[in-house]
Chain A
Amino acid sequence: MGYKYITKVNGPVIVASGDADFSMHDIVLVGNLKLLGEVINLNGQDAIIQVYEDTSGLKIGEEVEGTDAPLSLTLAPGIIGNVFDGIQRPLHVLRNIEGDFISRGLNIDSIDTEKKWKYTPIAKVGEKITKGSFIGEVKETQSITNKIMYSKDKEVELIEVANEGEYTVNDIIAKVKDKQGNIENITMVQKWPVRMQRGYKKRIVSSEPLITGQRIIDSVFPIAKGGTAAIPGGFGTGKTVLQHQLAKWSDADIIVYIGCGERGNEMTEVLEDFPKLLDPRTNRPLMERTVLIANTSNMPVAAREASIYTGITIAEYYRDMGYNVAVMADSTSRWAEALREISARLEEMPAEEGFPSYLPSRLSEFYGRAGMVENYNDTTGSITIIGAVSPQGGDFSEPVTQNTKRFIHVFWALDRELAYQRHYPAVNWMISYSEYAQRLEDWYIDNVSVDFYEYRKRIIELLGEENSLLEISKVVGKDVLQDNKKLVLRACQSIRSGFLMQNSMDDVDTYVPLEKQYRMMQTIIMLYDASSKLIDKGIPLSEINELGYFDEYSKLKFNIKNDEIYKFNEIDEKYKNGLKRLEDEYRYHIID
């Protein structure tokens, strides 16, 4: 506690001096308006403080009050479905209090403390309770049950338990006694320092994919539950649309969407869409499993820096209950820029392109909080992190993209050329990669089909061959290529438009189950192989094209609904028979 007094103001960074003993990362209340700030540097009597709100109007000599507590989140039922700013202030509540524009100096509860939740006890009187133990539960939304956990790192005994009934988050729902006989009241609320990782018993190597319903991801560059991925792309290449698609359709239990320094209207879009869209697994509105952190580009930069930690800490809280959580961070470049901005105000010596030298370690800490774990309470939970990267000038060699690449395992590189062709998602298959692909193979074999990876491999090989053929034809034209090479180009054209391209605006194509993805790969490879045989027998490609199968294939994604996968059998039959007939006709003509 105690006070220091302002001696310098430089944008969001201030210096306060005085006798009071502040600790690093303590929250302080700055000036007469009591703006929220955080101690980021201590030097003798001086504390350097980043302020989470606009500092206009602060004066030299105004007091800075210590709180003796780090920036902490309120973890309790009521988080899911909510929209917070970067330091967990609920934006709907802010709007009710202060209107359409965000003002300053308002310290309000992060979650609704009046609302009564229907609480059901789990643990019984006399039970031994340790860190992470479930004490009771609350149905937070139709899709999510919030487990009330014991949060301290010690063994205690449950001595009193509330009956099933309606309680607010601050009501006492249990009492515990430790070995020394100290009694502690338990509520549904945990306070947790936002910069501190929440612990777990042990890490698990995950061999289960996060299914997204997006073909280029699930079938070509899959991500494991508990994995890390980056989506780099210049502006206009579709990062945000892809992030939205993943937030909508991933088979995670909970989505934490962090809008970090991005556009206000993008958050509005999520807020308008998600309540209307249904989760394909639960048939409940997507908002019932989603938490939004919205710190748009024009909101204070220090809170933007914090928003990433707020998001990941909330994710860890639900992971601890045994949920699979996916964190979408859009965009981590804006977060890195917030670091740079504050670092410059501190007059730190910059490293590459003005970014602070600790950029790589911060990125590594952030992505390091992903993973599948065994929790203290023996449940298994995971956090998958998918970070968008907005490289300066669209150039992947810039520091944020390069440093991010070191700490992630899936790289979905978005490409301007593909965006020009209106090929979305514009994931460039030549430079993207997934380091999980091998590890996930068994899962696909067990859960989809033994030859899923065979077809995946064939598709990737064909696309690789197409790439080198296109290089050649840039110089000599396509006409000089032999028919078997032209067939590769034709097949790949269908793979591009019929398989890789996926229309997020189309009701059928926006989400595609694995079974259909598999059948789509199978059909095109079958069509290619059968055509290839005909060409070997001297039948010209033009005759095969005449049949229209390659054209038709491009439309199958729309024409065969997700619950009509059996129709692929009819298609396969048709293609096989048609090609057979062509072969016969041709043989007949030659004999003739």
Chain B
Amino acid sequence: MKAEYIGLEKINGPLVFIKTPKDISFNEQVELVLKNGEVRIGNVILLDKDITAIQVYEGSNGINLNGTKTVLKGKSLEIKLSEDMLGRVFNGIGEPIDGLGEVNSDIKRDINGSAINPVARKYPRNYIETGISSIDGLFSLIRGQKLPIFSGSGLPHNELAEKIIRDSNITGEGKFAVVFGMMGVEYETASFFRKSFEESGALSKVVIFQNLSNDPSIERILTPRVALTCAEYLAFDLDYQVLVVLTDMTAYAESLREISSLKGEIPSRKGYPGYLYSDLASIYERAGMILGKEGSITQIPILTMPNDDISNPIPDTTGYITEGQIVLSRELFQKGIEPAINILDSLSRLMKDGIGKDYTREDHKKISDQLFSSYSKVQDVRALAKVLGENDLSDMDRLYLKFGDEFEKRFINQNKDERRNISETLDLGLEILEILPKSEWDKFN
């Protein structure tokens, strides 16, 4: 028998307050039944002996104080899981919206998940070839890694994510699936991805959870959790190699801020709640590999940096949790370089153990370090050239300028449909390094 209570005390944005019923528990799922019979899902985020705050995921539009019924579900929010979810489309809280009916399954999991015991983790070492030179050569993606894309509004992060999904040989020997979580994404973006999956024939391997920009913002709090619960099931119960793409994490964090301020919490940086780090970690850390299990979760969250500022709290906290980052550059984008990846700011922490003799090629690290280091010198020379003019530069400095230009035009820049394997990428890197005399190859010592 489910307990039901009639009437609300107060409504404040997506938060509704009720007199604390007897059996309600913290973080419990509730259903609000509106006068017209419509049902909204919410959960308990603050429990006091007199009053209880519930966040309503589909927003509080049309909810009134007197006629609304609160139904306690006696458990936290769960979703049904099944292999049949592959190829399906769900909304941001995990309800099917593709007209194909409910998911049939007895397996239900709490969407909040639990932390993987650190001693149960397997250290990720398997290199994934994406076919993109800058990523493969300079910040390799490793299976089980969480590697976000930091972008700015108007930059081609979606195209990059799409290319990674399309061209990566993430599969290895196992089964492959993509779990796609969209938070506050434009309709055009959603259909861009859908179309790309259709064209590449991958649609049957993709599970989509979509919260569009015109859907209730609070729903976004659930979307990554629902998506990751599905991914964990596919990876650790069914042995899939799962690639999870979450976009846009900035929209997610903004919803979190919205709720926090409605709750009257004390803000820390830029109005974000003090628990932003812990909250984002509870999403990003749901990636990785587990000892004795075949499957893996590789996570590529995408976020747009407000005002292209990497020190904004969202990219900043993200970078401290994830295992590196791929940063897009407006400057390169304007130069027409694609993918417009900001080489110096990008990084893959797991690369060091996943490249080299047994994984890619023995000289990979040297080439990568040399390209980085030489390209960082290019920036100094360019700054100097602005002051002195190119004519007054030394011969060596001019070689660096040439190297920088070629590196951008030939190595970073890559045709949309061009896929370079790791050997091609490394050979190309060496070829461009040849512009510089060997005495400048300090990483080849």
Interface residues of A (CB under 8 A from B): 7-11, 54-61, 83, 91-92, 94-95, 99-103, 234-236, 259, 261, 263-265, 267-269, 271-272, 294, 296-299, 301, 334, 337-338, 340-341, 343-344, 347, 350, 353-355, 390, 392-395, 417, 420-423, 473-479, 497, 505, 551, 554-555, 558
A265 touches B121 (CB 8 A): yes
The distance in angstroms between the C-alpha atoms of A80 and B33, with both chains bound, is: 56
B158 at the interface (CB under 8 A from A): no
Q: How far is the CA of A271 from the CA of B22 in the complex (A)?
A: 46
Knowing A57-B27, A265-B288, A421-B372, the reply to whether A344 touches B273 (Cβ < 8 A) is: yes
Chain A residues closer than 8 Å to B23, beta-carbon distance: 59
18 contacts between A and B (CB under 8 A): A56-B25, A58-B26, A83-B119, A100-B116, A100-B236, A235-B319, A236-B349, A264-B115, A265-B124, A297-B277, A337-B274, A341-B274, A344-B274, A392-B313, A395-B311, A422-B443, A497-B445, A558-B445
The A interface, classified by DSSP as helix, strand, loop or mixed, is mixed
B117→A95 contact, CB < 8 A: yes
Identity of the chain A residue whose Cβ is nearest the Cβ of B438 in the assembled complex = A551
Contact of B285 with A393 in the complex, beta carbons under 8 Å = no
Q: How far is the CA of A271 from the CA of B319 in the complex (A)?
A: 23
Q: Is B321 an interface residue (CB 8 A)?
A: yes
Q: Contacts A59-B25, A354-B266 given; 15 further ones with Cβ under 8 A?
A: A57-B28, A60-B49, A235-B320, A236-B349, A264-B115, A265-B144, A267-B118, A298-B278, A344-B268, A392-B316, A393-B311, A394-B316, A422-B372, A423-B373, A474-B383
Q: How far is the CA of A298 from the CA of B284 in the complex (A)?
A: 9
Task: Mark the stretch among B81-89, B167-175, B187-195, B387-395 that contacts chain A.
Answer: B387-395
Task: Give complex CA distance A301, B288 in Å.
Answer: 21
Task: Give min CB distance, A178 to chain B, whole Å.
Answer: 42
Contact B376 A421 (CB under 8 A): yes
A50 CB, min distance to chain B CBs, angstroms = 13
With A55-B26, A263-B323 known as contacts, the answer to whether A353 contacts B117 (CB < 8 A) is no
Pairwise interchain contact B117-A101, C-beta atoms closer than 8 A: yes
Contacts of B316 in A (CB 8 A): 235, 392-394
A102 touches B117 (CB 8 A): yes
Residues of chain B in range 259-310 having any CB-CB distance to chain A below 8 Å: 265-269, 273-275, 277-278, 281-282, 284-286, 288, 290-291, 293
With a cutoff of 8 Å between Cβ atoms, the chain B residues found around residue A478 in the complex are 394
Is A420 a contact of B372 with CB atoms below 8 Å?
yes
**B384–A477 CB distance below 8 A:** yes
Contact B286 A57 (CB under 8 A): no
Q: Pick from B122, B320, B373, B392 the residue with the most CB of A within 10 Å.
A: B320
Chain A residue nearest to B368 (CB atoms) is A422
**Chain A residue with Cβ nearest B119:** A91
- Per the bound structure, the CA–CA distance linking A422 and B139 in Å amounts to 13
B interface secondary structure, majority: mixed
Question: Of B118, B313, B393, B394, which is within 8 A of A264 by CB?
Answer: B118
Asked if B196 lies at the interface with its beta carbon under 8 angstroms from chain A, I say: no
List the A side residues contacting B236 at CB < 8 Å: 100
Task: Report yes or no: B124 in contact with A56, Cβ–Cβ below 8 A.
Answer: no
Whether B269 lies near A354 (C-beta < 8 A) is: yes
Question: For residue A60, which residues in chain B have a CB less than 8 angstroms away from its CB?
Answer: 20, 24, 47-49
B232's nearest neighbour on chain A, judged by CB, is A101
Q: Number of B residues contacting the other chain (C-beta, 8 Å)?
A: 83
Q: Among A102, A236, A268, A340, which residue has its beta carbon within 8 angstroms of that of B114?
A: A102
Chain A's nearest CB lies how many Å from the CB of B263? 9
Measured CB to CB, the residues of B under 8 A from A are: 20, 22-28, 46-49, 75-76, 112-124, 144, 236, 265-269, 273-275, 277-278, 281-282, 284-286, 288, 290-291, 293, 311-313, 316, 319-321, 323-325, 344, 347, 349-350, 352-353, 365, 369, 372-373, 376-377, 380, 383-384, 387-388, 392-394, 397, 439, 442-443, 445
Q: When the two chains form their complex, are residues B373 and A422 in contact, meaning their CB atoms are under 8 A apart?
A: yes
Chain B residues with Cβ below 8 Å from A421 are 372-373, 376-377
Q: Are A58 and B25 in contact (CB under 8 A)?
A: yes
With both chains docked as a complex, state the minimum distance between the C-beta of A260 and any C-beta of chain B, in angstroms: 12
| Contact, CB under 8 Å: A100 / B290 | yes
Asked whether B26 lies within 8 Å of A56 as measured between CB atoms, the reply is yes
Q: Nearest 5 CB-CB pairs, A to B?
A: A393-B311, A354-B268, A297-B281, A56-B27, A298-B285
- Contact across chains for A297 and B321 when beta carbons are under 8 A apart: yes
A473: chain B residues within 8 A (beta carbon): 384
CB distance from A581 to the nearest CB of B (A): 21
Nearest-neighbor residue (CB-CB) of A478 within chain B: B394
B29 to chain A, nearest CB (A): 10
Contact of B274 among A296, A340, A393, A477 (CB under 8 A): A340
Residue contact A264 to B285, C-beta cutoff 8 Å: yes
Residues of chain B contacted by A394 (CB below 8 angstroms)? 311, 316
| Of B321, B325, B394, most A-chain CB atoms within 10 Å | B321
Given the contacts A392-B269, A422-B373, A236 and B274 also touching, CB distance less than 8 Å: no
Chain A residue with minimal CB distance to B20? A60
Find out whether the CB atom of B286 lies under 8 angstroms from the CB atom of A268. Answer: no
Check B26–A341 contact: CB distance below 8 A. Answer: no
A480 CB to closest chain B CB, in angstroms?
9
Question: Of the candidates A267, A272, A350, A477, which one forms a contact with B388 in the assembled complex, judged by CB atoms under 8 Å apart?
Answer: A477
In the complex, how many angstroms separate the beta carbon of B310 from the nearest chain A beta carbon? Answer: 8
Chain B minimum-CB-distance residue to A552: B445
Q: Are B49 and A268 in contact (CB under 8 A)?
A: no
CB distance from A345 to the nearest CB of B (A): 8
Residues of chain A within 8 A (CB-CB) of B397 are: 477
**Considering the chains assembled together, what is the distance between the CA atoms of A203 and B24 in angstroms?**
54
Q: Within the assembled complex, what's the spacing in Å between the Cα atoms of A551 and B377?
A: 18
- A101 → B minimal CB distance (Å): 4
Complex: how many Å from CA A269 to CA B142?
14
A421–B377 Cα gap in the complex (Å)? 8
CB neighbours (8 Å) of A299 from chain B are 115
Complex CA gap A343/B122 in Å reads 35
Smallest CB gap from A551: residue in B: B439
Give the residues in chain A near B120, CB-CB below 8 Å: 95, 99-101
Which residue on chain B has the smallest CB distance to residue A417?
A: B376
Query: How many angstroms from the CA of A296 to the CA of B123 in the assembled complex?
Result: 15
Decide: B48 and A7 in contact? CB cutoff 8 A: yes
Q: Determine if A265 and B372 form an interchain contact, defined as CB atoms under 8 angstroms apart.
A: no
Residues of the A chain whose Cβ atoms lie less than 8 Å from the Cβ of B293: 100
Q: Give A81 to B311 CA distance when docked, in angstroms.
A: 38
B321 touches A83 (CB 8 A): no
Q: Min CB distance, A99 to chain B, in Å? A: 8
Q: In the complex, what distance in Å separates the CA atom of A69 from the CA atom of B186?
A: 55
Contact B274 A354 (CB under 8 A): yes
The residues of A that contact B144 with a CB separation of less than 8 Å are 265
Q: How far is the CA of A7 from the CA of B387 in the complex (A)?
A: 67
From A56, A390, A423, name the one whose CB has the most chain B CB atoms within 10 angstroms: A56
Known: A95-B119, A354-B266, A497-B442. A9 touches B373 (CB 8 A): no
Measured CB to CB, the closest approach of chain A to B118, in angstroms, equals 4
Task: List A contacts of B267 (CB < 8 A).
Answer: 354
Other-chain residue from A265, A301, A505 in contact with B275 (beta carbon distance below 8 A): A301
* Set of chain A residues within 8 Å of B48, measured between Cβ atoms: 7-9, 60
List the B residue with the shortest CB-CB distance to A17.
B49
Contact of A8 among B47, B344, B352 (CB under 8 A): B47
* Residues from chain B with Cβ under 8 Å of A100 in the complex: 116-117, 120, 236, 290-291, 293
Which of B23, B119, B291, B383 has its CB near the most chain A CB atoms (within 10 A)? B119
When distances are taken between beta carbons in the complex, the residues of chain A under 8 Å from B116 are: 100-102, 264
Considering the chains assembled together, what is the distance between the CA atoms of A55 and B266 in angstroms? 21
The one of B26, B324, B350 in contact with A57, judged by C-beta atoms closer than 8 angstroms, is: B26
Q: What is the minimal beta-carbon distance from A294 to any residue of chain B, in angstroms? A: 4
Q: How far is the CB of B426 from chain A (nearest CB, A)?
A: 16
Residue numbers in B under 8 Å from A8 (CB-CB) = 47-49
- List, in ascending order, chain B residues with CB within 8 A of A390's CB: 320
* Distance of A558 Cα from B442 Cα, bound (Å): 13
**Least CB distance, A34 to chain B, in whole angstroms:** 15
